[in-house]
């Protein structure tokens, strides 16, 4: 029985690679995002690559009224339901410093919006007793840093939420994977200097899908970031607070 995947933030670079892999497996895809033209193109691409269904759906993570249509579409499917959450936003920390109201948007995009969606989805998955959730966090969530601590704290909140959701859904056979990407070579990082250990979106997508199939819980991509973040987390706070990394 082919899987039905809900992709929140389907216009993201990594999502586009993930849906290609899923299309090749014959999955049914619900592509949720805002840029309709781009969603249409991705849907066509998925169908051409073997998806059994690819439906673009208008979705705004800040507007819970857009959630219902997606849930209706997914819960009608007969096979397992899965979800991958790519929503998030990372304005420059300076912009946030200049306009503190931006914090609400960042928290909604990266944490409370997707958490609210998954909270609505969870009972359906529990009822089915199967399914997978891929939640995209960030290495930035592992420790608050000078450069992006608002974004980082939103991702940290989401990671903690995913941990709890895994604890809950694991009891009914649903698996939750927390993915923590380091820098990925996408439009978001194009032209930015000094990003070490960059991976590509197709590698990141293949890596997270493999991790999900293997039942991994928390996965860093590129994998070296697990070690790097272990070191960064272990720096004592009196020293860390003076560091600029």
Partner 1 sequence: MRWKTDTYTGWGRVHSATGELARPERLSHLAAIAKDEPAPAIGQRRSYGDACLNDGGRAVETSRLDRVLSFDAETGLMEAEAGLRLGEIARLYAPKGWLPAVMPGTGFATVGGAIAMDVHGKNHHHAGSFGQHVTEITLLQGKKTLKITPKDEALFKATVGGLGQTGIIASATLQLQRCKGDLMMVTERRATDWDAFIALLDQSEATYTVGWIDATATGKDLGRGILEEGETGAGLVPAPKRSKSVPFNAPQAALSAPVVRTFNALYYSRVPKSGRTTVKPIQDFFFPLDRIHDWNRLYGKTGFHQFQCVVPLDQAPALREMMARIAKSGLASPLAVLKRMGPGRAGYLSFPMEGYTLAVDFPNRGRAEALIADLEKMTHEAGGRIYFAKDALSTPLHIDEMYPDLPLWQAEASKADPDGALKTDLVRRLKLRDAS
Contacts of 82 (CB under 8 A, 6+ apart): 3, 4, 5, 6, 131, 132, 133, 134
Comparing CB distances to partner 1, the nearer of 133 and 184 is 184
CB of 33 to partner 1, least distance (A): 11
Comparing CB distances to partner 1, the nearer of 34 and 226 is 34
Comparing CB distances to partner 1, the nearer of 5 and 158 is 5
Query: Please, is 133 exposed, middle or buried when counting C-beta atoms within 10 Å of its C-beta (0-12, 13-18, 19+)?
Result: buried
Q: How far apart are CA 106 and CA 199, in angstroms?
A: 24
Cα dihedral 122, 209, 66, 104 sign: positive
Comparing CB distances to partner 1, the nearer of 6 and 23 is 23
CB of 193 to partner 1, least distance (A): 9
Q: How far apart are CA 75 and CA 133, in angstroms?
A: 15
CB of 34 to partner 1, least distance (A): 12
Residues that bind partner 1 (CB under 8 A): 11, 13, 16, 35, 37-38, 41-42, 44-45, 47-49, 186-187, 190-191
CB of 186 to partner 1, least distance (A): 7
Contact 9, 25 (CB under 8 A): no
């Amino acid at each position: 029985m082919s899987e039905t995947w809900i992709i929140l933030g389907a216009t993201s670079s990594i999502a586009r690679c993930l849906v290609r892999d899923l299309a090749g497996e014959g999955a049914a895809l619900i592509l949720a995002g805002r840029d309709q033209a781009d969603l249409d193109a991705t849907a066509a691409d998925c169908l051409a690559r073997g998806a059994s269904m690819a439906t673009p759906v208008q979705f705004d993570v800040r507007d819970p009224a857009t959630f219902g249509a997606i849930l209706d579409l997914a819960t009608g499917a007969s096979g397992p339901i899965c979800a991958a959450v790519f929503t998030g936003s990372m304005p420059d920390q300076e912009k946030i410093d200049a306009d503190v109201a931006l914090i609400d948007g960042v928290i909604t995009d990266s944490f409370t919006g997707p958490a609210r969606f998954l909270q609505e989805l969870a009972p359906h998955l529990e009822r089915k007793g199967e399914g997978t959730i891929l939640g995209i966090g960030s290495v930035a969530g592992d420790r608050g840093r000078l450069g992006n601590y608002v974004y980082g704290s939103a991702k940290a909140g989401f990671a903690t939420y995913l941990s709890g959701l895994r604890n809950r859904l694991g009891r009914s056979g649903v698996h939750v994977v927390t993915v923590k990407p380091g820098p990925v070579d996408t439009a978001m990082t194009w032209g930015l200097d000094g990003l070490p250990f960059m991976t590509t979106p197709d590698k990141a997508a293949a890596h997270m899908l493999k991790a999900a199939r293997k039942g991994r819980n928390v996965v860093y991509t590129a994998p070296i970031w697990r070690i790097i973040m272990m070191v960064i987390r272990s720096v004592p706070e009196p020293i860390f607070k003076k560091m600029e990394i």
